[in-house]
Structure 1
Amino acid sequence: MMCLLALLITVFFYTPVSAQRFSKKALSDEELVKKMPGFKNGFATVNGVKLHYVAGGTGKALVLLPGWPETWWSYSKIMPALASKYHVIAIDYRGMGTSDKPAEGYDKKTIAGDIYGLLHQLGYEKAFIAGHDIGAQVAFSVAANHSELVEKLIIMDVPHPDESFAAVLMLPALGTPTDKLDPARPFLWWFAFNQMRGLPEDLLEGRFEMAQKYIFHYLLADDRSIGPFDRAVYANAYNTRDAIRAGNGWYQAFSKDIADYKTYEKLTMPVLGIGGPGYDWLRFTLPNKTTDLKIEKIENSGHFIAEEQPETVIRDILQFLN
C-alpha cells in the first residue's frame, strides 16, 4: 500500500524528465521503426477502430501482442531475430499507442475480434499468436474464440483472467515486499488503482512516467533492462487522458473476461507458456484450458521477459514454432 500512497502524494510534485530528454518526434512510431531495418508501420480500420501495427520479415504470420504499460516497442529486442523466420506483426490493439481509443470494447473477447479482423484484412487465414501481460490475455481469447485462425499459441507470464483474479489481495500480507515483486506473495495494487474512473487520468495526465517508475521497479529483476529511451517511449504513449483511460479499460473489463472464460472449451492447438515470475501462475492455470501444453521458465528475469532475457525468449519461441 505504501507504493500507492507514495504515488498519490509524490505525483503532484513531480516534474517529468522524459520530454526534456527526448523530443516527441524521436518517440514517434515513424522514428522508432527506422531503428528496425526491414519493418514498416501499418494502419487498418477494423470494427470501426483504427489499429496500428509494425510488420516485417517473410514466412508464416507471427503476431505479437504487447502488455501494459507498454506498446509494440516492447518486442523490439526480439522482432529482428523472429523476422528471419516469420512475418512478424506487432500490434497496438485498441487503446494502445497510436491505435484508436474508443469509449468501450476493452474486454479481451472484443479485442480478439479486432485481431481476427485485422489478420483477415492482411490476407492471413492462419497465424501463430503470442502475447505478454494484457496481450497474453488477448492472445488466449483469440485462440478461444477464433481457434481456426491460431496454429500455435504463446502465453507470456500472465494468464487469461479467471476467478483467481477476483481474489487478488489488496492488502499485502505481513512481511510482503511492496518495492520489489516476490512471486510467491505478489502485491498487485494497480489492479485496484486502474479500476478507478477519472482519478488515474487526473493524477497521471502528462506525468505517466511516475506510475511507470513504480511499476517497472517493482516488476523488473534489473531496473536497467528497460533504459531511459524505452521508458520515454512508453510514458509518451500513455501520457494523455485518453491513453490512461483506455489502458485502464483493459483492467476494468476483467469481470467480463472472467465470465467469458467460464464459457471457453479447452484449446486444442499447441500452447507454450513462458514465465518469469509468472511461471507458477501459468503452471497452475493453463492446464485447465489446454490439451497440448508446454511451459518454460525464464530464469533471472522479472515480468518483462522479452526485454530482460530476449535471447532466451527468442530461443523458446523459435524452438516451439519449429
Structure 2
Amino acid sequence: MQAGTTPRHTAGTSAGILAGLASGALWGLSFVAPRMASGFAAMDVTAGRFITYGLVALGMMAWGLHTRRLPTLRQFLAALLLSLLGFTGYYLLLVLAIRDMGVAMPALIIGTIPVWVMLLGKPRGLRWAALLPGLVLTVAGLLLMADVPSAGQGGAGQELHFWRGLALACGALVSWTAFALFNAAWLKRHPEVRATEWANWLGVATGLGGLVLWLLAGTPAAELAATPGIAFFLLLCLAIGFGSSWLATILWNIASQRLSASLCGQLIVSETLFALVYSFAWDGHWPAPAQWAASVLFTLGILASIKAHR
C-alpha cells in the first residue's frame, strides 16, 4: 500500500474495479443480441432495448419516489445528451456495424475505448512514451483481426459492407468515448447524485430516445407482433434492457465515481472479451488462430496501458 493510502480508499478502489468489470460482462451481451435476433431490424433491436431500459428506470423512480428526488431541468438535459452519446446513438451505430461485419471486429474496435479514454483523459505526470507499448499492441491486434471477416469472401458488395461496417463501428467508438469522459466528469462534479439515481435519469432519457427512434424508423407494432420469434425478441429486449442497460449503468456509475476516468476506461476491455466469448459460444465454435492471436495482442495492449497508468 502506498503512503497516504487508507484501507477505506483501497476498498473503494477495489469495489470500483469489480463494478467496472461486472458492467463489462453485462455489456458484452449487447454485442451478441443482434445476432440472436437476426430476424428483426436493427432499429427494432435498438429501440426495444432502450424502451425497456426507460420503463425499468421509470418504474424504479416511481417505486422509490418518497426517498429519491427528481432531476432538475438542467440535470435532465445533461442526461438526455449523455444518453444519446452512450446509449441510443452509440448502440444503433454498433448494431448496424455488427449486421455488416459480424461481432468480432466491432467488438475489438469498441475494445480500444480504454486506450482512447487514456489518451484523452491522461492524468498529469504520465509520460506519453509510457503509453506507446499499449498502443502498438492494440493496433497490431486490430490489423490482424481486420483480415478475418474478408477471409474467403469475394465480391465488391461484401467488401462494401465490411468498410461500411468499419465506419459505423468507428462512429460508435467516438460516441462512447465521449460518453465515458463526459459522464465521469459529470459524476465527479455532482457527488450528491447517487449511482442508482443517475442510472434512472439516464434510463428515462434513453427510453424517450428509443421511443422516438422506433416511431421514426421502426417496424409498425402490428407487423412487429406478427414476426416469427416475437416472444424470444421481447425476452431478449428485457434481458439487455434490464441487465445490459439499467444494471450495467449502475455498476458503471459506481466505477466512474470511485476511479479516475483513465483507470475506469481500462475496464471496458472486459466488455470486449465477454462479447467475444458470448459470440463464439452462440456460434458453437472456437476462435480462428488469427482471432486468438488478435485477442491476445489486444489484451496485452490493455494490460500495458494499465501498467503505464500505474
Which of 1 and 2 has higher RCO (CA within 8 Å, sep 6+)? 2
More strand by share: 1
**TM-score, with structure 2 as normaliser:** 0.29
